[in-house]
Structure 1
């Protein structure tokens, strides 16, 4: 492209199935909520950027219940964490402490 000339994009047909990809994606259907004793959680350990992360899930709770549970767990363990797609991610190798905390809340784990 030479200097001083404008790029002509009229030849591009944006109406031919081209759409912006930054639109909100719909959720994967209605998520039913279950009481804590009906959950059967699984523990996993992963490394993210060389640091250990402990995962517990999958939770079937409402958004408000998820936020409250996340706050209680982070406060009890004294670490950071988040809830993504129904999985609780806690920073550090805290599997034993996380299991005891969630069992005190009434959740069950697979053997």
Structure 2
């Protein structure tokens, strides 16, 4: 199933005029405290033409808080990146710097992978 259609119950079309799609809401209404977040930092090169990115996973909270954290990390590292689907991508290998920045903010973070 594609990422766009994960929340739908598999129904593509219905002839019932009163039918309404039932979607799952994985979106958090509020973001847990930083100490309750358990973030994993890893280096990823898959599907990126061999270029390395620092991948931060495990964020739970609102999309706005995810984007603001990503913006802060990108500014501190001086590089670009993106934030979507609960993951933050930072261009380049900044695992150590991101780990220090997240721990300074009070997050429980650690390196994952090789």
Q: Name the TM-score, length of structure 2 as normaliser.
A: 0.67
From the superposition, tell whether residues 75 and 45 of structure 1 become closer, same or farther in structure 2 (CA, over 3 Å).
same
CA distance in 2, matches of 1:99, 1:56: 10
Contact 2:102–2:109 (CA under 8 A) maintained in structure 1: no
CA distance in 1, matches of 2:109, 2:75: 21
Q: What value does the CA root-mean-square deviation take over the aligned residues?
A: 2.3
Aligned to 2:94: 94
Task: Give the superposition deviation at 1:64.
Answer: 2.0
Deviations 1:11-48 (A, max 9, x none): xxxxxx976xxxxxx87523333111101111221112
Gaps of 5+ in 2: 1-10, 14-21
Matched, 1:61 2:57: no
CA distance in 2, matches of 1:106, 1:18: 44
Gaps of 5+ in 1: 1-16, 20-25
From the superposition, tell whether residues 28 and 55 of structure 1 become closer, same or farther in structure 2 (CA, over 3 Å).
farther
Q: Name the TM-score, length of structure 1 as normaliser.
A: 0.69
More off after superposition, 60-69 vs 83-92: 60-69
Deviations 1:41-96 (A, max 9, x none): 11221112111011112111212212221111111010111112101111001100
SS at match of 1:43: strand
Matched, 1:84 2:84: yes
